[in-house]
Structure 1
Amino acid sequence: MQQQYWVDDFYIDVSRNQITYQDHTQTLAPKALAVLTVLAKHQGEVLSQDTLLDAVWPDVIVSPNTLQRSIAQLRKAFGDDGKAQGFIKTHAKQGYSLEANVQWGNNKSKAASLSNMVLSNNAQLEHALPAKQNTPQNDKNSASTFKFAYAAVGGLLAIGALALLYKPQPQTLNITKLTALTATDNRENAGIYSPDGDYVVFHRYEDRLCINNIWAKNTQTQAEFQLTQQLKSNGTHTFSADGNTLYFVQEQDCRQPITQKLCYQLMSLDFAKSLISPQQPTTLMECKNSRLRAPNWMNGGSLALLQQHDTRWELIRYAIESKESQIIYGSEDDNVISYAYSKNENLIALTTVNTNNEYHLVLVSPQGKVRSKTAIQYPTEIARYRFIYPSFSPLDEKLVFSTGRQLFTLSYDGQIENVSLPLDEPMGSPNFHPDGDRILVIKGFYDRDIASFSFAQPTTVTAQTDNTFPQAKFDIIERSISSEGSAVFQPNGDKLAFRSQRSGIDQVWISDGQSSQQLSNFAMDSYIEGLVWSQDGQSLMANSAKALYQLALDRSTQHFAFPMPIEQLFDWDSEQQTALANIRVAGLIQFAQLDLRALTYTILREAPVNWAQYSDNKQIIYTDQLDRFWQTATIEDTFIDALITQGSDKRFVFKNSTLYGVNEQFQFWRYNLSNEQFEVLTQLPKTLDYLTDVRGTTALISLRINAKKELAELTISN
C-alpha cells in the first residue's frame, strides 16, 4: 500500500499517522488516515458509506457514526469546517468524495519548500507591480492593483497565522510530575474529581478501627471532610451533573441470604450538607439476588450501573425520578467486564468478553444503540486474558487504563499503546480532571507476611457454648516489605513454597528455612492465583496470568495450553494429572476438573466456587458463594450441615479426613468427616488474609502487615 502522498499542499505519511502542512505536523488516528487513503485512491469519485466501512473496518461491526467521526477528524486537519467542503465533500444519501488534487510519492521536499512560500510571495508580488505614474487613471489602476496584491499577501499571511495558532488534540500522554494528595496510615481508594474539579472524593478505610467512610479533600486548601459515618461500601461513586449529590453502591449482609450473602443498595448522599457534617445516605434501590457496581451519572438524569445475575454482568440504566431500570447492553453472547461514560460525547465505552473468550471494545449510546464493536488488539506486554478497565481521556478517540505498573491507551479501533509512567509502585484507577490536564490515580503497596502457629491443645465446643478462645501465638517465617502468601509445605520434605512480590513481580519462591530463591520467571503485571505441590514434592503447579505452569525444582517449566483462561487453581492431583479450578467457559466462570494430559475439562458446577480440594478418596470438598461446605457424591453433592455457620472467605485445608477452616469470627477450627467431631482450636488475628496449609499441629497463614493506598495526581504536559 502506498504510504506517502500529497493532498493539495498537505503531505500525508500513513506509516507515521501524520499530516504535514508547511512546518506544522498533526498526528491522526490510523483509521482516519485509512479512510483518507481510500478516498485518495478514488479521487473525485463518490464512495458510499458501506464501501468505506468495508474497506477500512473489514470483519468488524461498526456504525456509520464511526465513519463520520473519521471524516470530521480529516476535515479538521485540513482546516475545513465541513461547510465549504473544499477537500472532502458529502453527497447526500450517496457518500463522500475527495475533491482535492492527489499526488502519489514520498518526496517530502515539497513540504519544506512550502514554509518559504509566504515569505517569498511578498517580494514576488512587489516585483510584479507596475511603476507608479502621476495620472489619475494610473493612480486608480495602481490603487486597485495594490489593493489586490496586499489582499493576496494578507490572505497568505492569515493562512500561515491560522496554521501556527491551530492546536490539535493531543495524541499521546506525556506525564511530567507525580504529586501525592493524601498521606495517611489508612487505605484510600475509588478517587474521583467533583464536576468543578475543586474536590477529590474517595473512600478511606481505617485499619485500626475497621471503619470505612467517604471523604472529600479540597484541591486548593487541602482541607479534608468526612462525609459519612461507618459506611459499609467500598466501591466507586459518581456525582450528579450539578455536583450536589453523590451516588454509590453499599454492600451489607443479607438477613436471609438466598443466592448471595451480600445485599447491594444504590445510595445517594447530599454532598453540600456532608461538607458541613457527616450525613446518613438515602437508599434508592436494593438488590438481594443480583449484584450492583460502578454507578455513573449520565446526561438526562439517569445512572448507568453494572448488574450481575448469576455470573453474567450487563449494563443497565436507572432513572432517578421514575425509579425504573432498563438494559443498555448485555446478551447471552457478551459478558460485560467494565465500562466508562463520557458526558462530553454522551458515549459509553464497554470492554466485554464473548462466548469464544474474545475481548472487545464496544461503543454504545446511553439508549443502547451500538456505534461500534472492535476486537481489542493485545500487545505482548499484556497477558492474553487480562481484563481491561478503561477511562475516557482528553485524547482524541482514546481511553486510558492501567495494568498495575504500566499505563496504556486504548483507541476506539482497539489499538493499545504504552504510556511512559514515572512510578515504582502499583498504580490503578486512572480518572481525569475536568480540565483534562491531570489524572487522579490510586497507588500504594500491600505488605503481607507468612506466619505459622501451633494448635496442640484444642477446645471442644457445642452450638450452645459461648467461649472466648486465647489468641494464637504465631511466628513470622517469611517476610519482606512486599506481599508474601500462599505458603505450602513440601510433601516428604522440609522446603516451603510461596508466592512473593519482593522482586517487584509476583513470582514463586522456595525456602529451605535458611534462605529463599526465586523459582519462576513470570512477566510483569502477572498475578499468581493458586500454588500446589506435586505429591512427590519435586514440582509445583502455579496459575499465573490465568494459565497453568508446572515448575520443577530443577527449574524446568511446562505450560499447559488450555484454550480458556484459568481463573483460580485450587488443587492438583499430580498422579492422575487432574486439577480443580474455576475456569471461564463461554464468557462465564464455572467450577471444573481439568485433565492435564488431554487439555480437556469437565464442568462440576455451572457457577464459580470459593475454594475446593480433593479428599482422601478423591472426592471433592468445596465451598459455594454462600461459604457453605459441600462434598461431591455419586448421585448429587452433599451439604455438610455441621459446618453451616463455619464458612468464610479465608479458605480451608483438607488433610487426613479432617477439614481445617476459619469462621467469620476468626476462630480456627477442625472437623473430622469420619466421626463428625467439631473443635475450635484457637483465635486468629483479624489481620488474617488466608489459611494456606496444615502439617501435623502446625498451620500456615498469610497475615496482613500493612496495606497502604493513597491518592496521587499525575500532571500531563501540554
Structure 2
Amino acid sequence: MQQQYWVGDFYIDLSRNQIKYQDHTQTLAPKALAVLNVLAQHQGKVLSQDRLLDAVWHDVIVSPNTLQRSIAQLRKAFGDDGKEQVFIKTHAKQGYSLEAEVTWDNSNTVVTNNHLPLTNHAHTEQTISPELPATPRQNKSAGKHKIVLTALSCCIALGAIALIFHPDPQSFNVEKLTALTATDNRENAGIYSPKGDYVVFHRYEDRLCINNIWAKHTQTQAEFQLTQQLNSNGTHTFSEDGKTLYFVQEQDCRKPITQKQCYQLMSLDFAQSLISPQQPTSIMECKHSRLRSPNWMAGGHLALLQQYQARWELIRYTIETKESQLIYGSENENVISYAYSTQENLLALTTINTDGEYHLQLVTPAGEIRSKVAIQYPQEVAKYRLISPSFSPLDEKLVFSTGRQFFTLSYDGDIEKVSLPLDEPMGSPSFHPNGDRILVIKGFYDRDIASLQIAGSAPEVNEAHKDHHQTQFNIIERSISSEGSAVFQPNGKKLAFRSQRSGIDQVWVSDGKTTQQLSNFAMDNYIDGLAWSQDGKRILTNANKELYQLSLDGTSQHFPYTVPIDQLFHWDSRKHTALANIRVAGLLKFAKLNLSELTFTVLKDSPVNWAQRMSNGHIIYTDQLDRFWQTGGIEDTLIDALVAQGSDKRFVLDNNHIYGINEQFELWRYHLEQQQLTKLMTLPKTLDYLTDVRDSIALISLRINAKKELVELTLSQ
C-alpha cells in the first residue's frame, strides 16, 4: 500500500496516521485515513457506500453511519464544510468521490516544514521532529491514533490564536498547539513532572473498563504504563524530588454507612513504574469523608481537600508522621477548589460563603490568610459557575477555563478574558515548571438518544463492536456531539432533549421529522435537567444553575432565584412547583421550589441523586448510597426491595411503577402497590442514563464516543 501521497496541498502520511498542511500536522483515526486511501486510489470516481465499507471494514459489521463519521472527520481535516465539497463529494444514493488532485510520493522521505508548499492559507508553526530512541520501556501500542485536531483547531492555533492573556509587559501568546496523546481511550488529569521531562496522566480504556496511570517522555514521546487495572482515581501530584506520585483512589466500601465509596491516599514509586507497572501503596483511608485534589508542598506535606458531611475543608497531611491538620476551614464558608505555587509556597483557594458570595483567598501552608477578596464575575462567566484557577507565570494572576474560553483571575479578584473561543472544550490548565508551556485536557462527548421496547424478550447485548447499538436499538436523535435527557411530550408526539450539536448545550424539540432548537443560551452553557409542563406546551430547564421556562411558540421566562439551582429533577406546572438540588449558604440541599413566589422549602439538608414526584404528591428519591426512599409518612420510608438496585443511571416513574437500572446494567421495574420487582433486560455498558418511559417504550442515552486527550500549548514570551 502506498504510504505517502498528496491530496491537493495536503500531505498524507499513512505510516503515521497524519495529514500535514504547511506547518500544521493533524493525526486522524486509521479507519478515516483508510477511507481516504481507497478514494484516492480511485480519484474522481464515485464509490458506493457498500464498496467503501467492504474495503475498510471487511472483517467487521458496521452501519453506514460509521462511514459517514469518517467522511466528516476527513472533511474537517481538509477544512471542507461539506457544503461546497471541494475535496470529498457526496453523490446522492450513489456514494462518494475524491475530487481533489492526488499526487503519489514514491520517495519515502519524511516530510518537514520545508517540503510543504506555500499557499495563502494561514496555519501555526509546528516543527515535525525526527523520532528519537525510547527511554527505559516504550509502549508499542502508543501509535494507535484517533482524531486529534480538527480544522477549527487549526484556526485556533494560528498566529492570531495568540491566546493573548493580557496586553501588559507580562503578557504571552500561544505559539503552537501540540497533541500529546492520540488514542481511542480517554486521557485526563495531566501534570508535568518536577523537571518537566514527563507528563503523567490517567488513561481510561473504555471497552475494557480499565483505568491506569501512564507517563509520556516529552522528548522521545515514549509512553509507559505505570499501574495495572486501577479503580477510579483523582488528580495526582509529584513529590518534590520527582520520585513518588500521590493520588486519591475511590473504592467500594464493604459496609457503607455514610457514603458508598471509600477514599484512599495512594503513593507510587515513579522510577520503578517506568521499568514495569507497580502496585500503589495505601497510606491513608477515609470511610466517612471524601478526599480529592492532592498537592505536594514543601517540607514533606500534602495538601488535600477533605469533605466531612457537606462541607469541604483544606487539610495538610504529613508523610513522615502520618498526621493531618486543618489548613483552612470555616462554618461560614465552603472550599470549592485550590491551587499550590511551588515558587511562592502559597495556596490560592476559591470559596463560597453562607451569603452565596465567591472569594479568592491566598493562604500559607501553615494556615495564615494573606489576603481575601471577592471575585468579580464578568458577563462572559455565568454568575453561579464554580471556577478552579491554577497559578500562572504572570505576576499575581491565576488562569482557569470555562470550557471553550480561558480567563485570568488576579490576586485582586478581577477576571479577564484571555482567549478566542475554542472548537472543543479545553480544561484543567497546568503549567510547565519553566512556565513556557500549558498542559490542558481537550475532548468531546458523543452520545445518542435511543428508544427500546421493554416488553417481551430481552435483546442479546453484544459488546464486541462499537456500533452494535445502532442495530439493537432505535436511534432517534444523533449527531457527532452529545444528545441526552430526552423526555416525551405529555399527550403529544414531540420529544424534548439537550444537545450540543450547535456547539453550545441547548434545548431541542423533535417531532420525529423536524428538529428545532428552542433555547439560545450563551457560550459554555451547561444544562442539568429539563421537564415538560402537563399541557405539553412548555419546558422548564436548568441552564448554568438558573431556571428558564421555554414555550413552543418561542417565548421564554427566567426565574431569578437568589440561590444556584444545581440540578432540576421534576416540574409540576399546574402547582407551579419543582424539585431540585440547590445551594443554600454554600451547601447543597434537596428542596421544593415555589416558582410563583420564587421561594423554596428545604426537604433534606443534603443533596439527593435523583427524585420524582408521584401523582399522589409523594416523592421517590435516591440518596448518596443510591438507596430508594418514599415520602408521605411521619418519616421517609426506605424501599427495602430496591436496596441493591440503585445506581447513578437515574430512574423514571410511570403508572405506579419505578423503572431503574442497577450497577449490573439490568433494566428493572418495581410495582409500588404490589411491591413486586421484575428484571426486564440487560443493557450495554455504554448506557449513560435512563431518561423517560411511556407504556412499553423507554428512552436512554447511549455513549458512542468519549474522547479526552492531552494537548500542550507552547508559549512565546
Normalising by structure 1, what TM-score? 0.75
Task: State the partner residue of 2:112.
Answer: none
CA distance in 2, matches of 1:637, 1:270: 48
Unaligned runs of 5+ in 1: 1-167, 460-467
CA distance in 2, matches of 1:469, 1:626: 30
Code of the aligned partner of 1:241:
E
Q: Is the 8 A contact 1:666 1:684 kept in 2?
A: yes
Code of the aligned partner of 2:699:
L
CA distance in 2, matches of 1:364, 1:548: 35
User: Displacement of 1:653 after TM fit?
Assistant: 0.1
Go from structure 1 to structure 2 and tell me whether the alpha carbon gap of 1:422 and 1:495 turns closer, same or farther (over 3 Å shift). closer
Q: Does 1:235 align with 2:234?
A: yes
Go from structure 1 to structure 2 and tell me whether the alpha carbon gap of 1:441 and 1:628 turns closer, same or farther (over 3 Å shift). same
Code of the aligned partner of 1:687:
T
User: Displacement of 1:311 after TM fit?
Assistant: 1.3
Task: State the partner residue of 2:177.
Answer: 178
Q: Is the 8 A contact 2:405 2:421 kept in 1?
A: no
Q: Does 1:357 align with 2:346?
A: no
Task: State the partner residue of 2:66.
Answer: none
CA distance in 1, matches of 2:425, 2:342: 29
Task: State the partner residue of 2:581.
Answer: 582
Task: State the partner residue of 2:607.
Answer: 608
Task: State the partner residue of 2:410.
Answer: 411
CA distance in 2, matches of 1:334, 1:675: 46
User: Displacement of 1:423 after TM fit?
Assistant: 3.1
User: Displacement of 1:421 after TM fit?
Assistant: 4.2
CA distance in 2, matches of 1:349, 1:663: 40
Aligned length: 543
Task: State the partner residue of 1:147.
Answer: none
Task: State the partner residue of 2:7.
Answer: none
SS in 2 for 1:325: strand
Q: Is the 8 A contact 1:170 1:396 kept in 2?
A: no
Task: State the partner residue of 1:502.
Answer: 501
Go from structure 1 to structure 2 and tell me whether the alpha carbon gap of 1:571 and 1:208 turns closer, same or farther (over 3 Å shift). same
CA distance in 1, matches of 2:685, 2:700: 12
User: Displacement of 1:474 after TM fit?
Assistant: 1.4
Task: State the partner residue of 2:466.
Answer: none
CA distance in 2, matches of 1:416, 1:380: 10
CA distance in 2, matches of 1:494, 1:195: 58
Q: Is the 8 A contact 2:404 2:421 kept in 1?
A: no
CA distance in 2, matches of 1:456, 1:581: 31
Task: State the partner residue of 2:262.
Answer: 263
Task: State the partner residue of 1:224.
Answer: 223
Go from structure 1 to structure 2 and tell me whether the alpha carbon gap of 1:187 and 1:580 turns closer, same or farther (over 3 Å shift). same
Normalising by structure 2, what TM-score? 0.75
Code of the aligned partner of 2:556:
T
SS in 1 for 2:232: coil
CA distance in 2, matches of 1:422, 1:571: 33
User: Displacement of 1:538 after TM fit?
Assistant: 0.2
The Cα offsets for residues 651-692 of structure 1, whole Å up to 9 and x where unpaired, read as 000011110000000000000101111101111100000000
CA distance in 2, matches of 1:171, 1:617: 63
CA distance in 1, matches of 2:700, 2:338: 36
SS in 2 for 1:659: strand
Q: Give the ranges of 4+ consecutive aligned residues of structure 1 lying more than 4 Å apart after TM superposition.
A: 468-472
User: Displacement of 1:170 after TM fit?
Assistant: 5.0
Task: State the partner residue of 2:703.
Answer: 704
Equivalent positions of 1:44-59 (< 5 A) are: none
Q: Does 1:553 align with 2:552?
A: yes
CA distance in 1, matches of 2:270, 2:494: 55
SS in 2 for 1:670: strand
Q: Is the 8 A contact 1:170 1:395 kept in 2?
A: no
CA distance in 2, matches of 1:481, 1:629: 35
Q: Is the 8 A contact 1:560 1:599 kept in 2?
A: yes
Task: State the partner residue of 1:427.
Answer: 426
> What is the percentage of aligned positions where both structures have the same residue?
75
Go from structure 1 to structure 2 and tell me whether the alpha carbon gap of 1:585 and 1:698 turns closer, same or farther (over 3 Å shift). same
Q: Is the 8 A contact 1:470 1:682 kept in 2?
A: no
Q: CA RMSD in A?
A: 1.4
The Cα offsets for residues 458-508 of structure 1, whole Å up to 9 and x where unpaired, read as 68xxxxxxxx98679311110000000000000010000000000010000
User: Displacement of 1:567 after TM fit?
Assistant: 0.1
Q: Does 1:285 align with 2:284?
A: yes
Task: State the partner residue of 1:652.
Answer: 651
User: Displacement of 1:455 after TM fit?
Assistant: 1.2
Code of the aligned partner of 1:636:
E
CA distance in 2, matches of 1:543, 1:227: 41
SS in 2 for 1:493: coil
User: Displacement of 1:650 after TM fit?
Assistant: 0.2
SS in 2 for 1:235: strand
SS in 1 for 2:233: coil
User: Displacement of 1:377 after TM fit?
Assistant: 0.3
SS in 1 for 2:234: coil
Code of the aligned partner of 1:292:
L
Q: Is the 8 A contact 1:189 1:204 kept in 2?
A: yes
CA distance in 2, matches of 1:601, 1:638: 23
CA distance in 1, matches of 2:461, 2:343: 58
CA distance in 2, matches of 1:525, 1:170: 30
CA distance in 1, matches of 2:553, 2:413: 41
Task: State the partner residue of 2:535.
Answer: 536
Q: Does 1:511 align with 2:510?
A: yes
Unaligned runs of 5+ in 2: 1-166, 463-468
Task: State the partner residue of 1:642.
Answer: 641
Code of the aligned partner of 2:487:
V
Q: Is the 8 A contact 2:233 2:247 kept in 1?
A: no
The Cα offsets for residues 502-542 of structure 1, whole Å up to 9 and x where unpaired, read as 00100000001012110000111110000100000000000
